[in-house]
Amino acid sequence: MTDLAHIRNFSIVAHIDHGKSTLADRLIQETQTVALRDMKAQMLDSMDIERERGITIKANTVRIDYKAKNGELYVLNLIDTPGHVDFAYEVSRSMRAVEGSLLVVDSTQGVEAQTLANVYQALDADHEIVPVLNKIDLPASECEAVAAQIEDVIGLDASEAIQVSAKTGVGIIETLEAIVHRLPAPKGDVDAPLKAMLVDSWYDSYLGVVVLVRVIDGSMKKNDRITFMQNGTVHQIDRIGVFRPQMVNVERLGPGEIGFITASIKQVRDTRVGDTITSEKKGTAKPLPGFKPSQPVVFCGLFPVDSSEFEDMRDAIEKLALNDASFSYEMETSAALGFGFRCGFLGLLHLEVIRDRIEREYNIELITTAPSVVYHLYMKDGEQRELHNPADMPDLTYVDHVEEPRIKATILVPDDYLGDVLKLCQDRRGIQLDLTYAGSRAMVVYDLPLNEVVFDFYDRLKSVTKGYASFDYQVIGYREDNLVKMSILVNDEPVDALSMMVHRDRAEARGRAMVEKLKDLIPRHMFKIPIQAAIGGKVIARETLSALRKDVTAKCYGGDASRKRKLLDKQKAGKKKMRQFGKVDIPQEAFISALKMDS
């Protein structure tokens, strides 16, 4: 066990691509935690998809030993966190396990929306924050201007901000010294009953469930019997250790230390994130305040392309849910797509990552329905319901009113593109709350409906600002609006996978765009096919897909005109009958393309 005064626990927080994982690599390399031959870029990003996309999805931890300039030996526990808004839940959990943060700001880009969001999370967790200006090796670096911006926008003293280049290794020693001297040591009492916080848990096929813990009071060692306070289960510790980044066994973990335990736990469901772990016999009476559970904001249906793969898909989803506390799912069936799952995500990137992991790690091809959000329905008989899937919308005559989730969006954008951003937000039914300036950049705060954001808002924002805008949001509550369910009918049959909730004022334009798109996507059949968008019983847009023609009169040479007429009438009757009984096959690509709405 290490003396408390020589432990420092900290996380690295920043906006996307400001260099968190690279800085973590340099800290690991400088302290020789990993042998040089084993070093690789993004040491702590273990998933293929993280390395491929160049983003961090799971917060990862590593223990570093550092001999400071004053000759003392310190133990540093570092947690590298994600930068994307979809994984903010990972960040908030990691914050609760440590006492300080390194705030990394790109000295060429300045403060971005996600920088603000992560700083506020760190301040909520009572962190001591050390600003670090990264990428000083680039010619566009402006350290003084960015330091002034940190003081203006965030209100942090940046006069002693450390200037580093995580790529070349400049300023890494100064960073380590700042961690040791400017961040606080953890508090804790080794003689008190054991109190440890469960920070994360994941399933390992050899060890069972691996639990990441931060010990607050007391200590834990191998063969101790421990209780998880939320569900009262008792387990015996088989293995206890720390990450350097690979697992290394230790004798015991004391106050202030971060490590892992395994205890032959079969189900990750038994290990709730934020739970308090204590000893079975002389346990603590009062649990730690946990985290509030994450609320999924975007829902969509996932269906296997080949319906025989449904059981494999169920296994895949159950395994992924074990390792991701913020992903929820339930079974659903669809007339067009067969059996599948209705899944909840924290955002569109989260959805993409889960979908990619199922396709890649389990080799199952998927169809994804339109992403939608959760609506609150207030019925005329006073009942309140939640609507996850627009296809389940009851008849409007029974519904008193519908409420939709609203978000508070913070957008930082260079002055030149401000007009385009304001227009985009107005088009998406936004209400402007605030507009201030931080240097040459405008900070716009909007109240927007989440429904308008989940489709393609982020892509549109990036394209109208040539990639310069940064965007962050949080859900602020529900508000009533004039929302209706728009159904798409193909050959008079409703296609439930394409139904969606829209604002009544926008319904006609949305419907027209949808039917025009489907007309190009659905292959022609032997009979003509009407494609309609409807609200309730009223059709608001229609396109007709003409029939394939077969020249039935080709074999008539000469003779009376009535011979030809007779053949054409026979064909006409056949087509009418075919249309009555004919089934229109909508190819999978058509579903996916139709759901990618363009403005």
For residues 16 and 72, state if they share a domain: yes
Q: List the CATH number of the domain containing 313.
A: 3.30.70.870
Is 225 a domain residue? yes
State yes or no: pLDDT of 402 exceeds 60: yes
Summarize the annotated binding site for GTP as residue ranges.
Answer: 17-22, 134-137
pLDDT in tens, 171-229: 888 888 888 888 888 888 888 888 888 877 777 778 888 888 888 888 888 888 888 88
For residues 48 and 175, state if they share a domain: yes
For residues 499 and 475, state if they share a domain: no
What is the spatial distance between Cα 516 and Cα 501, in angstroms, rounded to a whole number?
19
**DSSP code string of 71-98:** S-EEEEEEEE---SGGGHHHHHHHHHT-
| List of residues 6+ apart from 523 with CB closer than 8 A | 585, 587
| DSSP 8-state symbol, 193 | P
Is 37 a domain residue? yes
Closest CA to 21 of 97, 109, 84, 73: 84
Is 523 a domain residue? yes
Is 125 a domain residue? yes
Q: What is the pLDDT of residue 447?
A: 92
- What average pLDDT does the segment 497-513 reach? 84
State yes or no: pLDDT of 599 exceeds 50: no
Is 359 a domain residue? yes
What is the spatial distance between Cα 255 and Cα 220, in angstroms, rounded to a whole number?
9
Indicate the SS3 state at residue 139.
coil
Contact yes or no for 150/158 (Cβ under 8 A)? yes
- What average pLDDT does the segment 151-157 reach? 80
For residues 441 and 507, state if they share a domain: no
Is 584 a domain residue? yes
For residues 13 and 128, state if they share a domain: yes
Contact yes or no for 274/452 (Cβ under 8 A)? no
Domain that holds residue 159: 4-182
Is 379 a domain residue? no
Q: List the CATH number of the domain containing 60.
A: 3.40.50.300
Q: List the CATH number of the domain containing 213.
A: 2.40.30.10
Could you tell me the CA-to-CA distances from 83 to 77, 102, 451 in Å, in that order?
Answer: 19, 13, 23
Query: Which segment of 212-216, 251-255, 468-472, 539-543 scores lowest on mean pLDDT?
Result: 468-472
Number of compact structural domains in the chain? 5
What is the spatial distance between Cα 235 and Cα 232, in angstroms, rounded to a whole number?
10
Q: Hey, what are 238's tokens?
A: 């088989």
Report the Cα 195 to chain-centroid distance in Å: 31
Is 387 a domain residue? no
For residues 350 and 227, state if they share a domain: no
Q: Hey, what are 477's tokens?
A: 């509550």
Domain end position, chosen among 481, 506, 540: 481
| DSSP 8-state symbol, 497 | G
State yes or no: pLDDT of 50 exceeds 60: no
For residues 55 and 168, state if they share a domain: yes
36 falls in which pLDDT band (50, 70, 90)?
low
Walk across the sheet containing 234-236 and list its strands. Answer: 234-236, 225-228, 276-279, 195-204, 208-217, 258-262, 239-244, 246-249
Closest CA to 481 of 528, 510, 447: 447
Q: What is the pLDDT of residue 498?
A: 79
State yes or no: pLDDT of 550 exceeds 60: yes
Domain end position, chosen among 246, 279, 312: 279
| DSSP 8-state symbol, 194 | P
Phi, psi angles (nearest 5°) of residue 67:
-95, 110
What is the chain's length? 599
| DSSP 8-state symbol, 398 | G
Residue 301's identity, in one-letter code, is G
Residues forming beta bridges with residue 333, ordered by sequence position:
339
Helix (H) or strand (E) holding 571: helix 561-581
For residues 45 and 175, state if they share a domain: yes
What is the spatial distance between Cα 405 and Cα 251, in angstroms, rounded to a whole number?
50
For residues 21 and 160, state if they share a domain: yes
pLDDT in tens, 418-462: 898 899 998 888 899 989 887 677 889 999 998 888 766 777 887
Q: What is the pLDDT of residue 51?
A: 53
pLDDT in tens, 288-345: 776 666 677 778 888 888 888 889 988 888 877 766 767 888 888 876 677 888 888 8
Average pLDDT, the chain: 80
Summarize the annotated binding site as residue ranges.
Answer: 17-22, 134-137
Q: List the CATH number of the domain containing 565.
A: 3.30.70.2570
What is the spatial distance between Cα 413 and Cα 398, in angstroms, rounded to a whole number?
44
What is the spatial distance between Cα 224 and Cα 237, in angstroms, rounded to a whole number?
6
For residues 58 and 178, state if they share a domain: yes
Closest CA to 196 of 212, 207, 210, 183: 212
For residues 429 and 455, state if they share a domain: yes
- What average pLDDT does the segment 472-487 reach? 85
For residues 242 and 311, state if they share a domain: no
What is the spatial distance between Cα 303 and Cα 305, in angstroms, rounded to a whole number?
6
Burial (CB count within 10 angstroms: exposed 0-12, middle 13-18, buried 19+), residue 407: buried
Domain end position, chosen among 447, 481, 515: 481
Provide, rounded to the nearest whole percent, the portion of the chain with pLDDT above 90: 2
Strand 220-221 vs strand 252-253: parallel, antiparallel, or unpaired?
antiparallel
Query: Which segment of 31-40, 126-135, 371-380, 446-455 scores lowest on mean pLDDT?
Result: 31-40
